[in-house]
Structure formats: C-alpha cells, structure tokens
Structure 1
Amino acid sequence: MKEAEQVPFSRCGIWRSHREFFVAEGISAWNGRVPFYVTSNPYLAHAYATIIVRFLQDRRAAGGPVEGPALVLELGAGTGAFSYQVLRCLVELTGAVPDLAADLCYVMSDISERNLDFWSSHPAFAPFLEQGLLDFAFFDVESSGRLDLRVSQRVVERRPGQPAPPLVVIANYVFDAVPPDFFRLEDGRLSEVLVPESLTLPPNEEANASFEITRIDGSRWHGVAEPRYAPESVDRVLRDCAASQIEGGFLFPAAALGCLARLRETIAHEILLLVADKGILAPASIPEASRLTLGLHGGCASSLLDFYALECFARSQGGDAYTCQTEGIVTAAYSLGAEFSELPETRLALAQFLGVFNPGYLYDVVHYFQASKPGARLETLIALLELTLWDPYVVDQFFDVLLASLPYAGSYGIGKLSENLHRVADNFFYLPSAPDTFFQLGVLLQEMQHHDEALRAYEASLSWFGEVAGTLYRMGQCCHALRRVDDAVGWFRRALQQRPDFVEARGWIAQIEEDRREERHVDESGHP
C-alpha cells in the first residue's frame, strides 16, 4: 500500500475543506454555525473607530508627505455587520474633522466572491459608497499583497521611494481561522510535525464542537531547517517562540505573520493592527492539549491564536503591543513601525477602550444577564442597553423580559426606552438569518402607546422581512388607535390575505363595521 503523503499541518485536507466551506457558503456560514457576536458588536465598533481616529490624528500631527488616502483594511469582513458599525462610528467621529473623513478609505475584504456580491447590493452600504468612504477588495490572507479595489478601480500598492499613508488593519476572528503550522519543542530541539495530506475534520454539524490534534495517526516529526520561512522576519518569530520555555506541541500562525509582512512590503510601512480573537497570550503557560485543540463550527475549524507570536513580530518591526485578555477572548492592538509612546492619542484611546473595560468584559456581562434574565428589571436592562450602545442583539435576547416589564416600570425606565429605541434601529444590519428587530421595536412602542413610531417600525419590518400577518395586524391596531379607521381595515384585510384563519383580524373588521353601522343609525335617527 502506498504511504500517505505527509505535509505541513497548514497544507492538509482540514484547511482545504475549511476554505471551500467559507468560499461556497458566503454569509450563510454565519447562520448559527460560525460565532461572531463577541467581535461584531456596536461597543467594539465604537472602540475601534475611536482608536482609528486617534491614530490618524497622531500620524497627521507627525507631518510628512503621503500619497493617497489613509486606509482601513478589514480582513475577512464576512457578513459585513461589523464593517457597518465601524463605518457609522467613523462618520460620526470624523464629523468635526471633515478633512480627516475626506482623506480616509475603508476597505472590506474577503476570499468569498459571494460575500463581496452581498455587500455590493446591501442598502446599508449605499451612503458610504456614495461618499467615497467605502471600497471592496478580494484579499487572501494566505497569499495576497496589493489591493485591487472593486469600486474605485484603483490599485493600492506602495511605490518604491514614495511615502505611503498609514494603514489600519482589522482582523477580528480571522487569524484563528487561517491555517497554522504544527511544531514541537522537546529538550530544546525544535521539530515540525508533518501530517497526512488527506487529514480531514471529523463530521460535525454543531456550532461549538472540538477536535484535539495532540496525536495524529500517520504523522511524523522532522528537524526544522533554517530558515523555515521567508521572509526572515517570520522565521525569526518562530525561533523566538521556540525560546519562550514552551514544551511540547504548539501551533504557529505563519500565514498571519506572512500577511502582515506582505502588507508592510506592498502597502504601508506603518501599520496599526486591531485584533479580537480567541487565543492565548503566553502559550507556555497553558496545557499542551489546550494549545492543540481546534474548534469545529459545522464545516470549518479554528485554532487558538498565538498572540505572543503577533507581539514578537510587532516588536521586531520597531513596533509595540497592547493586549487585554478575558476568559473568552483576547483584544489587542499592535503598531508596526512605531512605538505607542510615539502615538499619544492612540495610547490614550487604547487605555480608555481596551484597558478600562475591554470588549471581552462586555460579552461576560451580556452572558450573565442571559442566565439571570427572568429576574431582570426594566431599569437594569436599560443600563445594559446603554452599556452595549443599544445593540439589536441585546434587544432580541431580552425582548420578552422588556415587554413583560413595561406594565410595572416607572417613568424613568419608560422614558429612557422611548427616547433610545431609535438607536437600536440605527444599529440594525440586515442578514437573511437576522431576527425581525423592527417588529420587536414596534411591539415595544405600541405597548407604550407610541402608535405613530410603532407604525414606522412596522413599516421598516415590512421593507426588510416582507408581509407577515402578525405585523399587518398590529399595524391595523395602531391605525385604529390613531383614528385612521379606513387604514386600519386595510391592514386587517391584508393580514387575512396572509392568514385566512386569523380570527382576531376578522374580529376587528367586524367590530369596526358594527361601529360604523351604529354611527350611521345615530346620524339617521338623530338619537344615540
């Protein structure tokens, strides 16, 4: 029998099927299988946007000629939900500095053409495209260098001898899904683990299963030649990791580091990298089995990202690192080409948004509320909504509690909810798998007797999610409360078209007709 070919872990079948999954599925990959909320919420978007603006202000204060607008490149933008939140915040924050906004281009990138097509046709991005603030690009973390922008038809590539503007790179839940290589350190000797080229993931349809690769049948170790990687800057980090007192196996993010090296070479020498991902700051401090466990997400895989390797790379490039870890996620910023001591505004923003209350804590708070929500008061949920910047996800998770609490809430809670529900609507980003946030907002507004606003929310629901009998029925109720009786009958009839057995809608029509008969009788007789 022919012996199976052995290859570096990053080239085995696991990662081919992983890539094919994302390319083929497009945004459907995030339909309950691939997690994304913790790195795609309004709070993190606001933090990133503030850090980006402060970084650009630092660079502007430093002076010096540049060619072209400053770039924000989001790697693996996926659904586009996080991009939308960051763009909204950037527009708001740069409102007081118009020339800064005019000299900025946000580039959403991915390896799935289906994702790029989805973004191009999404109404939420139209205003940013019209402003010239947004562009799209196909970009492969494993191989791409220059940027070929789809909208402006511009090629972004640094010219020799030409000063380039600074580059901000966002990589949320990206580097953990880029194929790593597998090494072992035993008694000070570094070896690479080669695995069967045909190695695949076990069948799984769960969103959060796992697969330990501590021992793989058919694998073997071999000594690592010098250099193992080009460019030399990536190879040097491998040697730094091997010298960090780690024992046993570890996964090395060579592709992620190679991407950063290419971006420095082809786009901009100075880079601010913002990362939120599941990972480890000190690989030597955790058990080998934990370092070598892949997460499975119904067709794709992810590893624990080695943030120590990212820090080593940043410092080797004359840069700096700022990292914060919580139980479930690491949030970090890396500067390449400058230390944070040279970027005072950036440093202050990092301390405020990552050092005091970082996004990982926010996820812990939301998770706690989910476990204890039956006992939550409206006033307490208002505090949570304020903390999360009126996140639609939070409204969806706590909608039943919010609704049930309204009859018992005081004027403060009712007032705050009434004043701020429009912020939930502003934060909404449509996905085919998204819950109908506008219907939920309409119900809350209707229960608070804000019938005009409730109608507008229901109309938005129809626009995004189509005609649903329950929505049409509630629109009829609102119109009746506003004494728009003919409109009310029209909505009730449309609800019946959607659901002919809708007894309540039929009852409302009958009651309105009875009321009209009584009114005509009074008019004709002159007596009540």
Structure 2
Amino acid sequence: SRLIGDLSVVDVVTTMGGEPPPSKGGTADTPSRHVSSVDPSFAAAASGTAAGAATPAAPPPKRERCELETFTRCSESHLWRLMMSFYDRKGVGAWDQGIVPHFITCNAFIGRAYANVLKGLITDCARIGRGGRSPESMALDPTEPLYILEMGTGSGKFAFFMLKALAEMKEVLEFPFEKIVYVMTDFTEENVNFWQSHPGLAPYFESGHLDSAVFNGVTDTHIKLLRSGIVLEPGKLKNPVVVVANYLFDTLCHDIFQTKEGRLTEGLISVGSTRAKEPDPLDPEIIQRLDNRFEYREITDRYYMPTEGDDGEHLQRILGWYRDHFQKNHPNDGASILLPIGALRAIRRLTALSAGRCLVLSGDKGHNNPEHFTGLLDPHIAVHGSFSVMVNYHAVGMYFTSRGGFALHNPQEEASLKVSAFVLTGDTTSNDDNNGLVLDWSTDGAVEERDWDRAAAFPNLSIAFRDSVDRFGPNDFFVLQKSLKEDASAPALKAVVALLKLGDWDPDVFYKFRDPLLNQAPTCGAKLRNDLLRGIPRVWENYFVLDRDKDVAFEIGRFYYGVRQYASALRFYKESSESIGEHHVTYHNMGLCHYSMNSPKTAIGFFNKSLTLNSSYAKAASWRDKVQKEVDNSDAVVQQAAGGEGTGSSTQKQPSTQPSGEGGQLVTDRAGDGGDTDTSTRGELAQDLEVLSLDEKSKTQTSTDTPQ
C-alpha cells in the first residue's frame, strides 16, 4: 500500500479521539486494518532469526504517533480540515511563493484552449432554432448574463488568461461579449482581496466582465457577487452556467472504496502525525509529517442514501457499476476507487443555479480509464506544500451521464493534467428510468456510447474539445516546453520562438528561456530578430504579476538592449523598478542604455543611482568613472575650441563609438536571414552585453526553472 512517509508499526499512540465509530451505511463486521507502509527491518525481525545469527534479531525501534482522529469516513476526516487550513493561512502566498505548482493550469495556452471550448458551446446553443441540434433547454438569452464561475480560483491568473482570450475572440462569438461575466470564487477572503487590487484584473472589474465572491462549493448554496451585489441563487440564472475547476477536485473531500468478488467496502482513515504531540491540530505543517492508517468495512447498497438527496441514486449507480464491472473483468484482482464526493456536491450546488444546465471544464491530475483502479491499494496522497489525490474523472463522467448529460474526456493516459468537459442539459428526477438516466453496466462500453450519442447534439463543442484539448492540449504544451527546457542543453533560437508562438508568448515561458533568447538574439539573422521584435510586446500584454522573483520586465529590457533598441530597454527597466522595486543592477543597465544613446551625463546619473543603492558595486563605479572622464575630456575640447575661435581652430567633439538607438525600428537585412548588420560596433556591443550577462545573475535569487 502507498501513502506518505516511511511508517513503521506503531505501539505508542497519543490519541485525540475515542473508539472508532460504526461505519456509516455499513455493517458491524470486523474491519481489515492497514498501515501505510512497514519498516523493512520489521519483516526480517518477524522471521525469528537473522541470517547467520544464533540469536533472534533485535526488534525495530518504536516510533511515536499523534493520532489526530480515530477511524472515520474519509470525506468527513480531519485530512480536509488540514487542507482548508493550509489555503486559509497561506493565502495567495501558496502560489506567488511557489509552494503549490500552478504553471500547467495558469498559462496563456490553457486559457485560450478553454476559451475555444466555450466558444464551441456558445455556437451550438446560439444556433438552436436555426438548424442547430442542441436541446431547446440550452438556448441562450442574449439579454441575460452568461456566467462563468471558477471554483478555487487561487491567484486569479487563469481567469486573466481565459478572459483575455474571450475578449480577443468577441467578434466571432455568437453571444454578446458584454453579457459574459466571469466570477472568481474561493473560500478564503485573502485571495478575494488580492484579486481586487491586482492591476492585471482591474480593467475587467471596471468593465463589468469580472466579479468575485467568497464561496465554498461543498457547503454553500448561493453566491453573492461582491462587485455588483447580485446574489446567484438556485434556479435564478436564465442561461446555462459555465463552471471552471482547475487543480481543485484533487483537493476536495473524497470517499474511499474497494470492491472484490462482488462486495463493496468503504475505507476509513485515521489521520495522524509522526510527532508525539501536535499542540495545534490545524497547523498546515502537519501535512509534511502525515502518518495515516486505513481500515475497510463492508457497506450496504444504500451507502449514500438518503444523505445525498437527489444525488443518492446517481452515486449508488456509480458504485454498482464499479462492483459489477470489476467482478466481471477482474474477479481476482479487485479494485480501489476514490469517489470525489466533494466535487460532485459542488457540481450539484452550482448546476442548481441554472436548473441543471451547464458546461463544466476541469483540469487536474487523475484518471478517466477505470482499468487504472485495478488492485487493492490504499490511496496515494501526494504532498507539495499542501496535498492532493488522483481525481476519478471516470466517476465524474458517469455522474453526468446518470443525470442525462455527457462527458468529453481526453483519452491520453500518460498525462500530468487530464482535462475533461461535462455537459448537463437540464434536470429530470433521478429515478426516471424511462429517460435513460440509469447506467447500463450489463454491456461494456454502454456508458461511453451514450455519451457519444448525446455529444453529437453539440458538434461545435465536440470539435473544439478535440482540437484544443485532445489533439494537442494543455498537457502536451506543458510536456513540450518542459522537455525543451530540461533535455536541450542549448536550444536553438528558432525552436524557442516556435514554442513562444505556440504558447501565445506566455511570460513564464519567455522567462524560462531567457538565456537562449538573450544570448542568441543579438547575433541572429535579421528575419528571426524581426519575429522576436513583433512577439516580445505580446509577452508584456500577457504578463500577470504574481511571483516577484521572476522580473519579466527586467528580462525584456535586457532583450531590447541586446538588439540595440535602447529606448524600449529603458521603458522596461523603468517598469521593473516601479513594479518589482529598485535595484542597483537595473539602474546600472539604464545607465548603459543612456550611454549607448549618446547621453553620457544622464548615464552618469543612473550609475550614481546604482551606487547609492549599492556603494560597493564595482561595475557601476567603473562605468561612471569612464563616462565622467569622457565628459570631462569632451568639455575640455569644447573649451579649447571656444578659446581658439580667433585663431581659426576647427577642432570638433568626437562622436561616441556607441551606436545610437532608435527604439521600435525593425532591423532590415538585405543580405539574407543569416546576415548581420552594423558590424563596426559589434565589439563594443559585445562588451556591454557581457556586463549585463554577468550582472543579471546577481539581480534576483530565482527559484528553479523546472516547469510546474
């Protein structure tokens, strides 16, 4: 079995609870109990005598364990209170400090992919009554808002990218863009306050396209929008609701089940810590020292009834499908199943806002092929600051099918991020067999066939999902940029440009590949340089300030300096100082720009600013002295010329050997793609670039470039 840590058999227990409660919905059978793992030395000791020894081996050292909670249903366990405590106490710091990985779901590529899928749904729904095949219940009212509700928004970065993509395609949307309202939600107020003050989100708040709310999808039934004051309540929305949930379902509460030989058992969990005592049971650091135990008890056929209301019938069908499927196909192996009950409860609450009409887009780590559940194992819990489990997207899809909807899954199995789309076209009673709501597990593939039949009524949605997710989707983009970064020691500039174009010039990708960009751009051919000059402004358009260790503006300034666009370089060095903070290297580089633009006295001022921040910075002192000497010599020449006017002297000031910069002007190269221009100043330019290359490494203490 798999879980956190190397856990040995425990005799000393500090407990915070009493005896295990009886299994809810189950029987009083004696449970089978599992430890997460066993110290390897215990197995040798248990054999009685160590190899070659005359006396029994010494038992392993005993380890203490603080039991935070006795055995209980997983979805009700202390585990999820620790999760809530982590995000509540860390706030946005969970993302801007890199504690929680987020790049894979927060980049320009995935924002555009989701926007394309939504565009497909809008097209299908807008054409109802005009030859479209979608059910009439999904018809759009262009006079009413179309709400996009993101659960667990976190930093707001994904919302920024998806809204931006939708705004850029508004001319081809078959629904008025001004009626689209994106609502960012989270359960912690700190995140909501962060969004309100973020400069990248401000234009969307001001235009009314963006709103926010404090919302717990597992427990809350209505959403009060903070900006508009509107309250979203069950049955209130005139248009279908669009739900976005990235890296969320894996952190909401789950229930554990196993099935073998036609029997279903529930997994109970005892949450513990490797320490003897935990004064604060909600301390998020406990996650790093989890020491959990599991036991399994047989359950009845009505495990979720009546506690889950209308969903009880759907959930029982799902559990019954797994029981019968694995009894038929893997009778000797059994299966271990996680049911994302927290996600399903949230979906029920959100879809109630629009009478069961919705599109749900979700990306997470998980499985949509039930064959991955084969075997009897304890659930694997991954720790990454917080913790997460693998999402059972197959069960989520069956839930939608049972409610009369359908699922679109990406069948790719080797993927860090699984993206699925789920559609409901309106609720009917959960026990209405005549409408095909009961899952048919008597024939393999029946659920998938029903999904395909229902998806055929949404051809534009299906094609958009195929093109933006299935054929080459967010996970593929993540893998591609990660491989180019980690596997290529010196990636070619053309390859980097191609990747940037594929990712819509995503700022994080630009930052990851700044070294090959800055090293090769000054000497590359004019055509490739022009492609970069056209694309780099897009990097800044897509910039969402979050991780202040990644000074994107500074790196853009370095790029422009390298290609002799000094005015543009100055603009971004100034932006870096204002948005990230003053730094002696930034002022030093600004001095180099002014010197290159034949403004030596202004350059001296910036070298002095650099030295004010860091008086021991030798490079700024050296350049200041060098330029000051040139200015003094130039002034002396001018004075000498002025004094000798009556004698016919014609001495003139010598021009600087640095090239003058005309920011924004593209370089042209009539010699061809591989040629260079203005080679007379190449030596001095290289000298300056060397200074920048060396100085940059002390600019910031950046975290690893490994994509997350």
TM above 0.5, yes or no, is: yes
Deviations 1:23-57 (A, max 9, x none): 11111112222111111111110011122123223
* Counterpart mapping for 1:68-467 below 5 A: 68-96=144-172, 100-159=176-235, 164-196=238-270, 198-199=271-272, 216=293, 219-224=295-300, 226-228=302-304, 229-230=308-309, 231-232=311-312, 233-245=314-326, 247-288=334-375, 292-298=379-385, 300-324=386-410, 325=412, 326-337=414-425, 339-467=454-582
Do the aligned partners of 2:83 and 2:284 also contact (CA within 8 Å) in 1?
Answer: no
Residues 359, 424 of structure 2: 8 Å contact kept: yes
Give the Cα separation in 2 of the matches to 1:400 and 1:111. 39
Indicate the SS of the match to 2:169: helix
> How much does 1:200 deviate?
5.4
Q: 1:148 to 1:380 in 2, by over 3 A?
A: same
Work out whether residues 153 and 184 of structure 2, in 8 Å CA contact, stay in contact via their aligned partners in 1.
Answer: yes
CA contact (8 A) 2:336 2:373 kept: no
Q: Contact (CA 8 Å) 2:591, 2:606: kept in 1 or not?
A: yes
Amino acid at match of 2:322: C
Separation in 1, partners of 2:123, 2:376: 44
Is the deviation greater in 391-400 or in 224-233?
Answer: 224-233
Q: Does 1:26 align with 2:91?
A: yes
Whole-Å separation in 2 of the counterparts to 1:449 and 1:133: 39
> Contact conserved, 2:212 with 2:225, CA < 8 A, in 1?
yes
Offset at 1:487?
2.8
The whole-number CA distance in structure 2 between the counterparts of 1:11 and 1:358 is 35
Match of 1:6 among 60, 65, 71: 71
Distance 1:235 1:449, change over 3 A: same
**Which residue pairs with 1:491 in the alignment?**
606
8 A Cα contact 1:472 1:492, kept in partner = yes
Secondary structure at the residue paired with 2:401?
A: helix
Q: Secondary structure at the match of 2:356?
A: coil
Structure 2 residues not aligned, in runs of 5+: 1-14, 21-69, 130-138, 427-453, 642-650, 653-708
Q: Hey, what's the Cα distance between the residues in 2 that align with 1:25 and 1:205?
A: 9
Distance 1:262 1:152 in 2: 21
State which of 97, 109, 113 in structure 2 corresponds to 1:43.
109
Shift in CA distance, 221/290, structure 1 to aligned 2, threshold 3 Å: closer
| Letter of the 1:33 counterpart | I
Residue 119 of structure 2 corresponds to 53
Residues 1:96 and 1:490: Cα distance change in structure 2 (over 3 Å): farther
Unpaired runs of at least 5, structure 1: none
Q: Distance in 1 between matches of 2:291 and 2:539?
A: 40
Greater Cα shift, 271-280 or 65-74: 65-74
What is the alpha-carbon distance in structure 2 between the residues aligned to residue 163 and residue 433 of structure 1? 39
1:444-490 deviations in Å (ceiling 9; x for gaps): 11011011111111122112101011111111111222223343222
Stretch of structure 1 that moved more, 466-475 or 219-228: 219-228
Q: Which amino acid aligns with 2:318?
A: V
Q: Residue 264 of structure 2 aligns to a residue in which SS?
A: strand
**Post-superposition offset of 1:60:** 2.3
Deviations 1:281-330 (A, max 9, x none): 123334547772111112x2111000111110111222221111343221
CA 1:195–1:96 in structure 2 vs 1: closer, same or farther (change >3 Å)?
A: closer
User: What is the Cα deviation at residue 121 of structure 1?
Assistant: 0.7
SS of the equivalent of 2:72 reads strand
Alpha-carbon contact 1:42-1:391 (below 8 Å) kept? yes
Whole-Å separation in 1 of the counterparts to 2:405 and 2:180: 23
Change (3 A) 1:491 1:290: farther
Contact 2:274 2:291 in 1 (8 A): no
User: Cα gap change, 1:224/1:491 in structure 2, threshold over 3 Å: closer, same or farther?
Assistant: farther
Q: d(CA) in 2 for partners of 1:497 and 1:262?
A: 58
Query: Per the alignment, do residues 408 and 138 of structure 1 end up closer, same or farther by CA in structure 2, a change over 3 Å counting?
Result: same
- Give the letter aligned to residue 21 of structure 1: F
Conserved in 2, the CA contact under 8 Å of 1:212 and 1:292? no
Q: CA deviation at 1:185?
A: 1.0
Distance 1:260 1:470, change over 3 A: same
- Shift in Å at residue 223 of structure 1? 1.5
User: Given residue 80 of structure 2, which amino acid in structure 1 is its aligned partner?
Assistant: W
Alignment CA distance shift 1:98-1:329 (3 Å): closer
Moved more, 281-290 or 339-348: 281-290
Distance 2:364 2:374 in 1: 19
Contact 1:34/1:297 (8 A) holds in 2: yes
CA distance in 2, matches of 1:259, 1:48: 20
Cα distance, 1:502–1:205 mapped onto 2, change above 3 Å: farther
CA deviation map 1:136-180 (0-9, x unaligned): 011212112221111101001244xx7721111111110011110
Task: Provide the C-alpha distance between the structure 2 equivalents of 1:301 and 1:224, rounded to a whole number of angstroms.
Answer: 30
Instruction: Provide the rounded CA distance (Å) in 1 between the counterparts of 2:611 and 2:114.
Output: 47
Q: Which amino acid aligns with 2:391?
A: L
| Cα separation, 2, equivalents of 1:282 and 1:54 | 25
Structure 2 CA distance, aligned partners of 1:163 and 1:507?
67
Aligned 8 A contact 2:153 2:186 in 1 = yes
Contact 2:245 2:363 in 1 (8 A): yes
Could you tell me whether the CA contact under 8 Å between 2:273 and 2:289 is conserved in 1?
Answer: no
User: Would the alpha carbon gap of residues 289 and 473 (structure 1) be closer, same or farther in structure 2, given more than 3 Å must change?
Assistant: farther
Which entry has the higher C-alpha Rg, 1 or 2? Answer: 2
Which has the larger helix fraction? 1
Residue 443 of structure 2 corresponds to none
Aligned residues: 520
Question: Aligned partners of 2:468, 2:480: CA distance in 1, in Å?
Answer: 16
Distance (Å, rounded) in 2 between the aligned partners of 1:285 and 1:517: 76
- Listed one character per residue, the Cα deviations across residues 79-99 of structure 1 (whole Å, up to 9, x for unaligned) are 111111111111111145596
Aligned-pair CA distance for 1:432: 4.2
- What is the CA distance between 1:268 and its match in structure 2? 4.3
CA–CA separation in structure 1 for the residues paired with 2:83 and 2:98:
17
Question: Per the alignment, do residues 448 and 212 of structure 1 end up closer, same or farther by CA in structure 2, a change over 3 Å counting?
Answer: farther
Question: Which one-letter code corresponds to 2:317 in the other structure?
Answer: R
Q: What is the Cα deviation at residue 276 of structure 1?
A: 1.0
Q: Distance in 2 between matches of 1:307 and 1:38?
A: 18
Asked if structure 1 preserves the Cα contact closer than 8 Å seen for 2:381 and 2:388, the reply is yes
How far off is 1:252 after superposition? 0.7
Amino acid across the alignment from 1:316: S
- Partner residue, 2:433: none
Letter of the aligned partner of 1:523 in structure 2? Answer: V
The answer to whether the Cα contact below 8 Å between 1:193 and 1:222 also exists between their aligned partners in 2 is: no
Judged with a 3 Å threshold, the aligned counterparts in structure 2 of structure 1 residues 286 and 307 are, in CA distance, closer, same or farther, namely same
Task: Tell me if the contact between 1:69 and 1:105 (Cα under 8 Å) persists in the aligned partners.
Answer: yes
Q: Distance between the aligned counterparts of 2:80 and 2:512, measured in 1?
A: 34
Instruction: Tell me: CA distance 1:521–1:98, structure 2 relative to 1, closer, same or farther (3 Å).
Output: farther
**2:495 aligned counterpart, secondary structure:** helix
In 2 relative to 1, CA 495–74 (structure 1 residues): closer, same or farther, beyond 3 Å? same
SS at match of 1:244: helix
Could you tell me which amino acid in structure 2 is paired with residue 23 of structure 1? Answer: D
